Amino acid sequence: MELYLYLLLALGINLVMFIPAFIFKTDRLTDISYGLSFVTLVAIAWIVEPFSIENTLVALMVTLWGIRLGAFLFIRIKKMKRDKRFDGRREHFIKFLSFWLLQGITVGIVLIPALLFMGKTDKSTMSVGILIWLFGLLFETIADSQKFNFNQNPSNKGAFIDRGLWKVSRHPNYFGEILVWVGMYVYMFMSFSTLEKLWTLSGPVFIILMLLFVSGIPTVEKRAEEKFGNNPAYLEYKRRTSLLIPWFRKK
């Protein structure tokens, strides 16, 4: 199956989910559709592409990540009721639609390496990629869990998290997310030709750029600055703690 058809499918899934989300002005479908899009595309690829153990493993890696993320975000939005990212957007057709379109495009681009790999008959893999993926998944899961539990504790109301993995990185969940996709790319790397190695790199590079400069870190940092920007303890935490890559705190 051609890659552009998968991209159209990703856009189609998100457009279908956009309709009820816009009509009912709900945020509960937004994050669910993200993980669901990934899972749906690799499930289709697993069915239509030549069967192999390697394809099954890639499909499982994407599916486990997608189900984990989707379940976490669904539980979180049920508690939060609304996602502040969409304040001023969910009421406007074009603004809200642009988010859903970007989400569909993101899914299609990030999955380029996996979908191309699954369409190949001859495969060569690097097992170290699985270890990187697993470490990233665990790191992201632990970071999300720590922050969620912190925010659910009434005694922490109005406070910022600076413990656990959040003590060594201001965005450990995004660090884990990046490792998930880098790990999968490393696992599939040897199956690609020299040219394919270069253009399939667009997958992990795209998610890294999105998290660093678009919908990830900039959004969270802006909200934190608005909420804690006058808090000396937060400013000290920000000064001493690595933005993304876990590291020892500055003195």
Structural domain spans, the chain: 1-120, 124-251
The C-alpha angle with vertex 184 and arms to 181 and 185, in degrees rounded to 5, equals 85
Taking the model in full, what pTM does it have? Answer: 0.95
Helix (H, G, I), strand (E, B) or coil at 77: helix
Give me the sign of the Cα torsion angle 150, 155, 158, 162. negative
Per-residue pLDDT of the chain (251 residues; tens, 9 = 90+): 899 999 999 999 999 999 999 999 888 888 789 999 999 999 999 999 999 999 999 999 999 999 999 999 888 888 877 777 788 788 899 999 999 999 999 999 999 999 999 999 999 999 999 999 999 999 999 999 999 999 999 999 999 999 999 999 999 999 999 999 999 999 999 999 999 999 999 999 999 999 999 989 999 999 999 999 999 999 999 999 999 999 999 88
Residue 196: both structure tokens together: 């394919």
Contact 165, 142 (CB under 8 A): yes
Provide CB contacts within 8 A for 104, sequence distance 6+.
7, 10, 11, 12, 13, 14, 15, 37
